Amino acid sequence: MVTATALETELLELAGSVPDPELPVLTLHELGVVRAVHLTGTGAVEVDLTPTYTGCPAVETMRADIEQVLRTHGMREVTVRTVLSPAWSTDDITPEGRRKLQQSGIAPPRTQHSAGPVTLTLGPTRTGHAGEAETGTAPEAIRCPHCDSADTELLSRFSSTACKALRRCLACREPFDHFKEL
């Protein structure tokens, strides 16, 4: 039992070390999508993987990459199960993952710390400008990953992938992707 658990931990680390196919700077562990690894027999293992978005096309590649890594590590039979519940949230991205997103020019999602029903107020399109302070209801700003200015505005709710929005920095004028809160 003890050895199995140790092996499971090792396999979980291996599965988590696979790079994300669309954001290769992040590992699957940093993205928070590898949920668990269970040994189901000698050399047989089951991995629980949760998609970021229900229609995420990268899941197939993640599945294949995890299988390959675990097979290379001596597993004969690797089953990758897709689990939906509890639903993945951008809060599942690790602090290290957020730092790496920022470094590669993608503004990380703001943390939500909320459970329960999702409210529809997705916030104003512009953050960090002078007028906000007067209302006293300023949301946490989305900062430019290039110059760190908080004065940025939304250009499009959907960007190169469903999980990102396109924004522009009003200080340095550079456009950038923002990993949307989900």
Partner 1 sequence: MTATVPATAALALGDDALVLSHRLGEWAGHAPVLEEEVALANIALDLLGQARVLLSMTGDEDELAYLREERAFRNLQLVEQPNGDFAHTIARQLYFSTYQHLLYAELAAQEGPFQPLAGKAVKEVAYHRDHAEQWTLRLGDGTGLSHDRMSRACDALWRFTGEMFQPIPGVDIDWAALETSWLASVTDVLGRATLTVPEGPRTGAWAAGAGRQGLHTESFGRMLAEMQHLHRSHPGASW
Comparison of 72 and 121: residue with beta carbon closer to partner 1: 121
Phi and psi at 56, nearest 5°, equal -60, 115
Comparison of 45 and 165: residue with beta carbon closer to partner 1: 165
Comparison of 14 and 142: residue with beta carbon closer to partner 1: 142
**Which residues form the interface with partner 1 (CB under 8 A)?**
51, 53-57, 83-89, 117-118, 120, 122, 155-162, 166, 180, 182
**Least distance (Å) between residue 26 CB and partner 1:** 20
CA distance 75 to 119: 44
Comparison of 53 and 99: residue with beta carbon closer to partner 1: 53
**Least distance (Å) between residue 54 CB and partner 1:** 3
In contact, 152 and 142? CB cutoff 8 Å: yes
**Least distance (Å) between residue 169 CB and partner 1:** 17
* Dihedral sign from CA coordinates of 101, 102, 103, 106: positive
Comparison of 70 and 181: residue with beta carbon closer to partner 1: 181
In contact, 38 and 8? CB cutoff 8 Å: yes
In contact, 82 and 53? CB cutoff 8 Å: no
In contact, 181 and 163? CB cutoff 8 Å: no
**Least distance (Å) between residue 20 CB and partner 1:** 17
* Dihedral sign from CA coordinates of 65, 68, 73, 79: positive
**Least distance (Å) between residue 157 CB and partner 1:** 5
Q: Which residues contact 3 (CB under 8 A, 6 or more apart)?
A: none
